Amino acid sequence: MKVSTRIIAGYVILILLTVAALAYQVYTIRELKLINDNLSQVNVENSLKSLQLQYDELLIEEWAQKYYGTGDKDYKDLFDDAGNDLEMDLMGLQPTVNTEAEREAIRKVFHSWKAVQEIIGAERKQRIDTEVTVQLTNQLEALRAETVTLSGLSKTAILNAASLSAKTASGAGKISVYAAVGAILLTILVSVPIVWSITSRLRELGTATREVAAGQFEHRMAAGGSDEFASLAGDFNTMAQRLGELDQMKKDFVSHVSHDLKGPLASTRETVHILLEEIPGPLNEKQRRLLALCLKSSERLSGMIGNLLDVSRMEAGMMDYKIESFDLVPLARGAASELEGLAREKKLDIVVESAVPEIRIDGDQGRITQVISNLLENAIKFSPASGRALVRIEAKGEYAVLSVWDRGPGVPILSRTRIFDRFHQVNPGRKIAGQGVGLGLAICRTIVEAHGGTIWVEGNPGGGSVFYMQIKSSERIKA
């Protein structure tokens, strides 16, 4: 499934869940509104009518007793008016009640009222009849009890409606919590796999990009699946394959051209040597100077070709090392002696200092000499005339450290790491006399790291640069 499809499907589910929760909330709110309307209108009105019935009953009781005791027709009229009010209130209350108990209570109130009305309306044979008095009193008490019961039922209905409203609200609150928790869990369940699938493939793409940027063109991404990342992985693999082919073409070209140039260049150098030795005939001073310049240029070109071949061997993993134990101090002095002629041309002094008389390392003497010569040659090239280049050897713990000090223009801080990369130059836009193509230091780093050591550059406090080579010593350092 495509990433976009997974995202859309996941969020459609979340939207549907949100809509369902919202619909339930709307439904619950409407139910609560109906309950509250019923509570505030019908039940409250019923309660008020029940209270009015109690008031009507009290009036009926008062006027009945006064009429029965005095026989005054005015009390009889007031009694009838109170009875009419009672009947009207009962008739108004009856359609609004919701329970059978309330309807039965209304019938009992009406029945008790009719019984009182019959007693009051009967022809009295004597002024006071004890039996009738008791009967009237009992019936009025019954009417009072029935109206109280009806009022109590109205209050109970109000309480039941309030309880139902609270129960509904509580249920709605629980459902809302459940819906919120469910939405959060569903969001996590939907989002985590989507985010993980995206970030994992992005991490894989980032790793592959760094590998290719580091020159590992054989690196490939897993191209399985049918989503956008699978398509991107396929395109990336195609790009890496093409870059690898181009890089291999470049390596083959450099290797073949460098190898093919060695023969003609060696022939040219040999011819110049023969001419300088005046085997074909004598030379004047001008001819000798021109041939010397030609020999110097050919030697410089030979060094460049040698570096290119070394780089080709490095990339092919075919650098040969003959490992043996040797003393680093005389090796450094020998490399300095070979460059004394180049130093004399710039009126420079080469000084070799050693803090220990002997320090042995395991390695290839020729390759380590190549590193020291390269560092020292750079120091001579970039140092000002009439100065000096310093080679210092010292012991730091179990390591032998060789440093080359110069008073040249120095290496900017931002270039101190990249200066050991192939073809990197500190000032690519400005040509400096004696500057090569940027392979010497890259070869030095490869050789030193092959010996388990490290190489780096720092600034010279007196101006210029200091290049360090650190390799583990093979024997106890002699004081």
pLDDT digits (tens, 9 = 90+) for 191-202: 777 777 778 878
| Ordered alpha helix ranges (H), 219-284 | 228-276
pLDDT band per the 50, 70, 90 thresholds, residue 213: confident
Annotated domain spans of the chain = 3-190, 245-315, 323-472
How much is the pLDDT for 202? 81
141 vs 368: which has the higher pLDDT: 368
Per-residue pLDDT tens digits for 295-354: 777 776 776 777 666 666 666 666 778 899 999 999 999 999 988 888 888 888 899 999
Q: How many other CB atoms are found less than 10 A from the CB of residue 318? A: 8
* SS3 category, 147: helix
Residue type at 397 in one-letter notation: G
How much is the pLDDT for 315? 65
How much is the pLDDT for 130? 63
How much is the pLDDT for 369? 92
Residues contacting 82, CB < 8 A, separation 6+: 56, 59, 60, 63
Mean pLDDT (whole number) for 219-247: 79
**Would you state the structure tokens that stand for residue 37, as one six-digit string?**
């309307």
- Range from 175-179, 230-234, 358-362 carrying the lowest mean pLDDT: 175-179
pLDDT band per the 50, 70, 90 thresholds, residue 468: very high
Say if residue 78's pLDDT is above 80.
Answer: yes
How many angstroms separate the CA atoms of 111 and 106, rounded?
Answer: 9
Chain centre to alpha carbon of residue 454 = 35
How many angstroms separate the CA atoms of 443 and 420, rounded?
Answer: 8
Per-residue pLDDT tens digits for 390-429: 999 999 989 999 999 998 888 888 888 888 887 766 654 4
Q: Which residue has the tokens 């450290």?
A: 401
Q: How many other CB atoms are found less than 10 A from the CB of residue 60? A: 26
- Mean pLDDT highest for which of 2-11, 312-321, 382-391? 382-391
* SS3 category, 322: coil
- Range from 65-74, 141-150, 177-186, 311-320 carrying the lowest mean pLDDT: 311-320
* SS3 category, 137: helix
Q: Please tell me the pTM assigned to this model.
A: 0.48
Say if residue 177's pLDDT is above 90.
Answer: no
Q: Which residue in 166, 69, 149 sits closest to 102, CA to CA?
A: 149
Fold of domain 323-472: Heat Shock Protein 90 (3.30.565)
How much is the pLDDT for 351? 92
How much is the pLDDT for 475? 72
How much is the pLDDT for 126? 42
- Range from 255-269, 285-299, 366-380, 409-423 carrying the lowest mean pLDDT: 255-269
Q: What is the CATH number of domain 3-190?
A: 1.20.120.1730
**Would you state the structure tokens that stand for residue 196, as one six-digit string?**
């993980």
40 vs 17: which has the higher pLDDT: 17
How many angstroms separate the CA atoms of 404 and 470, rounded?
Answer: 12
How much is the pLDDT for 6? 66
pLDDT band per the 50, 70, 90 thresholds, residue 167: confident
Q: How far is CA 327 from CA 201, 272, 305, 357, 475, in A?
A: 52, 37, 30, 9, 10
75 vs 224: which has the higher pLDDT: 75
How many angstroms separate the CA atoms of 375 and 394, rounded?
Answer: 17
Beta bridge partners of 326: 361
111 vs 172: which has the higher pLDDT: 111
In whole numbers, what is the pLDDT of the chain averaged over residues? 78
Q: Which residue in 477, 465, 453 sits closest to 390, CA to CA?
A: 465
Provide DSSP, 172-219.
HHHHHHHHHHHHHHHHHHHHHHHHHHHHHHHHHHHHHHHHHHTT-TT-
